[in-house]
């Protein structure tokens, strides 16, 4: 698990053009908490570090073009899952 520094958190948020409140919303925390993390006043918990890693991967995938796993789509169709 990655140890997130205040600079890395800020760089991730800025790389994806997110405000502190918007980034906090993705992580389930307040914009003020993101501010405190970026200033180094608070350190992310183990759970938040895991969430940061997940959000980083998802935002990177979206940035690359939003390509979803085509194989996953096909398996949904084969198994008859309905999407409403």
46: domain CATH number? Answer: 1.10.260.40
- Let me know if residue 82 belongs to a domain: no
Among left, alpha and beta (phi > 0; psi -120 to 50; other), residue 67 is beta
Where does the pLDDT of residue 25 fall: very low under 50, low under 70, confident under 90, or very high at 90 and above?
very high
Where does the pLDDT of residue 70 fall: very low under 50, low under 70, confident under 90, or very high at 90 and above?
very low
- Let me know if residue 26 belongs to a domain: yes
Q: Decide if pLDDT at 3 tops 50.
A: yes
| Top-confidence residue, 74 or 14 | 14
What pLDDT score does 67 carry? 54
Helix runs in 6-69, H state only: 6-15, 20-27, 31-39, 46-63
- Let me know if residue 80 belongs to a domain: no
pTM (predicted TM-score): 0.74
What pLDDT score does 84 carry? 62
């Amino acid at each position: 698990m990655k140890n997130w520094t205040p600079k890395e958190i800020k760089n991730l948020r800025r790389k994806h053009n997110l405000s502190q409140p918007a980034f906090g919303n993705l992580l389930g925390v307040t914009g003020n908490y993101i501010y405190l993390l970026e200033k180094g006043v608070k350190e992310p918990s183990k759970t938040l570090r895991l969430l940061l890693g997940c959000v980083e991967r998802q935002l990177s995938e979206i940035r690359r073009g939003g390509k979803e796993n085509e194989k996953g789509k096909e398996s949904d169709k084969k198994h008859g899952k309905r999407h409403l």
